[in-house]
Amino acid sequence: MRRIPAMIRIPAAGILMAAALAILLPVCFTLLGSLMSPGEIEYYFGPVYEGTAEEAVRLHLLPDRLSLESWYQVLLRRPDYLIKFWNSLLLCTAIVLGQLTVSCMGGFAFAKYRFPHKEILYYILIILMLMPVQVTLVPNYIVLDWLGLLDRWACLVLPVALAPFGTFLMTQVFKSVPDELLDAARLDGASTRQQLVRIMIPAAQSGVVSLALLAFIDAWNMVEQPVTFLRDASRYPLSVFLASVNSENFPLSFVCGVLALLPVLLLFLFFQKELVQGIEFSGLK
């Protein structure tokens, strides 16, 4: 392998380190802010969220005194914030399970079976995948209203579970699985369900984990769908609820921000290898 010259390697490393610090700064700011007392937050950042600042507020990173008052408020005194967290976690889990079920079955069919108009349906799937979420909000709203599912969690689970990206990704992943494995399973009398569950999914485990992580992150950060499909604000997930925390109780927003960051961060740390392998396995760039 050709060695990169030092005159290129050192500046490149410096640029990458600067970019990493810029990315980590908001995370560190949120984490350290959660360890400040409410009085300290109001003193340094009060003019910002009250809209009374006449000049730029200086950046205050390190707490003057470590305090767990905000954590105590969120975890014990104000359980409504913690309830939002667990409700959002359950909602995202349901979305991930639904999308994995639909995507694995659809990807298996597109990758390993022949049926009429397969290519046309696959191109339609790609076109739907390229459409932004905002374009599909009105049609989804009309259909969900006709089904009587508005203002229920089902109105958030169904559209995301049927998202075309998952089927597209699993199609690419399952195409990489050798056909000889399925031929051997058919000779042994395996049904279609057994071929999918016992052969395809274990052989493409990294791709399935990648889809689960991407689906969870997308569901965890969704904002437009809850605001559009839910009429009762008390049903909003944590991603939408964070905006009201900033306006109602700004000192607690740092703790709620840490809570919103934890699931995604832990999933990425524990399944980083599977995520990279799944994307490589699918052949996506």
Domain boundaries, the chain: 6-67, 79-282
Residue 280's pLDDT is 65
- In angstroms, the Cα distances linking 25 to 33, 140, 240 are 12, 38, 23
Tokens found for residue 179: 């056909």
**Among the ranges given (10-24, 48-62, 68-82, 232-246), the one the predictor scored with the smallest mean pLDDT:** 48-62
CATH code linked to domain 79-282: 1.10.3720.10
Residue type at position 158: L
Cβ-Cβ contacts under 8 Å for 112 (sequence gap 6 or more):
174, 179, 182, 200
Q: What is the pTM of this model?
A: 0.83
Strands (DSSP E) along the chain, which ranges? none
Token reading at 266: 């832990």
Write 114-118 long-range contacts (CB < 8 A, 24+): none
Q: CA 45 to CA 269: how far, in whole Å?
A: 32
pLDDT digits (tens, 9 = 90+) for 32-79: 888 888 777 777 776 666 555 555 556 677 787 888 888 888 888 777
Which one of 69-73, 85-89, 268-272 scores highest in mean pLDDT? 85-89
How far, CA to CA in Å, does 96 sit from each of 13, 101, 233, 258? Answer: 37, 9, 23, 22
Question: Where is 74: in which H helix or E strand?
Answer: none
Among left, alpha and beta (phi > 0; psi -120 to 50; other), residue 151 is: left
- Residue 97: what pLDDT? 94
Look at residue 216 in the predicted model and tell me its pLDDT: 92
Cα distances (angstroms) measured from residue 135 to each of 3, 26, 96, 130, 224: 48, 31, 22, 10, 11
Q: Please tell me whether residue 3 adopts helix, strand or coil conformation.
A: coil
Confidence at residue 81, expressed as pLDDT on a 0 to 100 scale = 80
CA distance 54 to 155: 44
Which of the residue ranges 48-52, 103-107, 197-201 has the most confident prediction, judged by mean pLDDT?
Answer: 103-107
Of 22, 13, 60, the closest CA to residue 254 belongs to: 60
User: Model confidence at 8, in pLDDT bands (50, 70, 90)?
Assistant: low
Distance CA 269, CA 281 (A): 20
Residue the block writes with tokens 């990294």: 206
When the pLDDT of each residue in the chain is averaged and rounded to a whole number, the result is 82
163 secondary structure, DSSP code: -
Q: Which of 160, 151, 137, 252 is nearest to 212 (CA)?
A: 160
pLDDT tens readout for residues 133-185: 888 888 888 988 898 888 888 888 988 888 889 899 899 888 888 888 888 88
Looking at residue 285, its pLDDT comes to 44
Q: Return all residues near 247 (Cβ < 8 A) that are at least 6 apart.
A: 49
